[in-house]
Amino acid sequence: MSYFEHHVFFCCNQRPEDEACCAKHGAQELQAYAKSRIKALGLDGAGKIRINKAGCLGRCDEGPVLVVYPEGVWYTFIDQEDIDEIIDSHLVGGKIVERLKLA
């Protein structure tokens, strides 16, 4: 069994001004939002859900991106509404959000 049921990594890398980069699309703020929402739901901790910051995940052109392990599902997102849908549908409900999923 995985140490965390879902381990989520937000790309929070910051690139130079003229390059594509998740951090320019609010990734850090939305990571903080997701973390606080999971905590408020009482779903953080071992055996449950962890929301992490990560360095560059290597998919800059498709960003902002996050990845959910161990299932290895990648998402892009725009705003809190998208993050809420990923939390409610996937992390809590176990149903992948197809409209935000990356190949």
User: Which residues form the interface with a second copy (CB under 8 A)?
Assistant: 2-3, 7, 9, 12, 45-46, 50, 52-59, 67, 69-72, 74
We find the least distance from the C-beta atom of residue 76 to a second copy, in angstroms, to be 13
Q: Which is nearer to a second copy, 7 or 15 (CB)?
A: 7
Q: Which is nearer to a second copy, 12 or 87 (CB)?
A: 12
Please, which contacts does 82-88 make with residues 24 or more away whose CB atoms are closer than 8 Å? 83/30, 83/33, 83/34, 83/37, 84/37, 86/34, 87/34, 87/37, 87/38, 87/41
